[in-house]
Structure 1
């Protein structure tokens, strides 16, 4: 063993790495998440280079989307999309998704429509090359402390929001913030709910588990907002959350579900 280490140190380290990767779930989790972050920040440089000639434009989102699509094959994830017909519309709409982990970015790219602009917290803008790539792709950054600035008049493109406002690792859904629904009502455009199944069978941040697995994306029928006003927003918010929570429990294989 000592002779092998002395003569072929890199070979020995590589074999040790592979062995540790196979037998230690926490080490495998660390490796995959490190690769994920390095991939995002490195390939963002290519997105920036491709986007600069056009400048800040929602059309550049296609480059960002292309950057994430190979990751599902690298990580051995099967993504099944149901209800694609509910996105076949050319009119503006507000797309709302449940938010679990940073992997949501990778998964949502599977269904992100053309000229659909995500709305994100402003902190992402300062995340190096990834932040600049997002800015060039037309992503709208908001200050969550300034609620009035979160509601913008967007009628030429669709927008994507996570109504929970932050990541939820609890296996259910947090209460929804009303910004997405205020926006939809103000613009009189429909809300299209999208539900991503729980990652718990292949990913767990607390227990440091990241294996191969399957994620289901269920696109629900649009919820019309024509004729609704500000007073209808609370009811609309709860209506959409209830339908998304029921769907989440169903596609995640939860028998008893979680409480509201």
Structure 2
């Protein structure tokens, strides 16, 4: 009993005095809560759709939107009108941490995860994730039920084949796909070079690309420095980029154009957030 009381007293003390303890506690709670939500969501998905169906993303979206409030995050969205596009399209966005989906995570969906992703996720939209996620317990199962497209990033031939199938599925089933073209999480204050898969996908399907940009998390979240506090995420949806008439020869130019537009927006909205909140101390 004495040990239990000591732990109860120690917890608020550490939460008040240790940013490192707060960081790990929030990360642990985040993962545990998402796994719990997945346990609740799996039978709902099965009852609603009977199996794997992109419509199950609506269930996930509704279940995780509240998570931002648990961590004191506020999401400010601009450019909503650019998502009001009929039919299939490819959404591309930058990717900074496991918070992206909570918004996705390590290259995919933590249904977890960019808090902002679930904030604006349109109907009949799913994402592309690395194949390893499907083995992530309850989270992997609910991602599979939501129609997430899994790729083996280590095998280029497999990834191209999956992308070709995804393009056909987009048109046949009239779905949208969310892709993180940087290919990995990045919190270096800029955008990484884009991989070409998302652009090949859009060109092959002849569907528009809608760029989505998240502001830097550095004002509230620093992974290396183990700091995680409340803050604001600015999310800007840019005008769609048409791909009709383009071919594989245009992919590099399309990628460069998208990167330039998104980088400009990223630096602009990140600067606005930094000025309003101030950066975390390293």
* Superposition TM-score, scaled by structure 2 size: 0.86
- Other-structure match for 1:141: 150
CA-CA distance at 1:67 after TM superposition: 2.4
The match for 2:135 is 126
Cα separation, 2, equivalents of 1:206 and 1:129: 28
CA separation in 2, counterparts of 1:64 and 1:147?
Answer: 25
Deviation at 1:10, TM superposition (A): 2.8
Identify the match of residue 189 of structure 1 among 191, 204, 207: 207
For residues 86 and 125 of structure 2, the distance between their equivalents in structure 1, rounded to whole angstroms, comes to: 11
Structure 1 stretch 189-198 or stretch 147-156: which is displaced more? 147-156
Structure 2 distance, partners of 1:169, 1:197, is 11
TM-score normalised according to structure 1 size: 0.93
**Equivalent residue pairs, number:** 249
- In the other structure, the counterpart of 2:259 is 241
Q: Hey, what does 2:5 align to over in structure 1?
A: 11
Cα shift at 1:42: 1.3
Q: Deviations over 1:130-177 (max 9, x none)?
A: 000000011111111223224122221111100011111211111101
Tell me whether 1:200 sits opposite 2:218 in the alignment: yes
Contact 1:81 1:218 (C-alpha < 8 Å) held by counterparts: yes
> In the alignment, what sits opposite 1:104?
100
Q: Distance in 2 between the 1:88 and 1:192 partners?
A: 10
Q: Matched residues in 2 for 1:171 and 1:47: separation? A: 35
Q: Secondary structure at the match of 2:95?
A: coil
Secondary structure of the corresponding residue to residue 55 of structure 2: helix
Q: Could you tell me how far 1:207 is from its partner in structure 2?
A: 0.2
Q: Of the two, which has the highest radius of gyration?
A: 1
Task: Deviation per CA, 1:113-134: give whole Å up to 9, x if none.
Answer: 0110111111110100000000
Determine if contact 1:143/1:149 at 8 Å carries over to the other structure. Answer: no
Q: Deviations over 1:175-234 (max 9, x none)?
A: 101110111111111000000011000000000000000001100000011111110000
| Alpha-carbon distance in 2 for matches of 1:147, 1:139 | 14
2:45 maps to which residue? 51
Q: Show the counterpart of 2:76.
A: 80
SS of residue in 2 equivalent to 1:61? helix
1 CA distance for matches of 2:228 and 2:83? 30
The aligned counterpart of 2:59 is 63
Which residue pairs with 1:258 in the alignment?
none
**RMSD, aligned CA:** 1.4
Unmatched tracts of structure 1, length 5 or more: 256-260
Distance 1:27 1:16 in 2: 11
Superposition misfits of 4+ residues, deviation over 4 angstroms: none
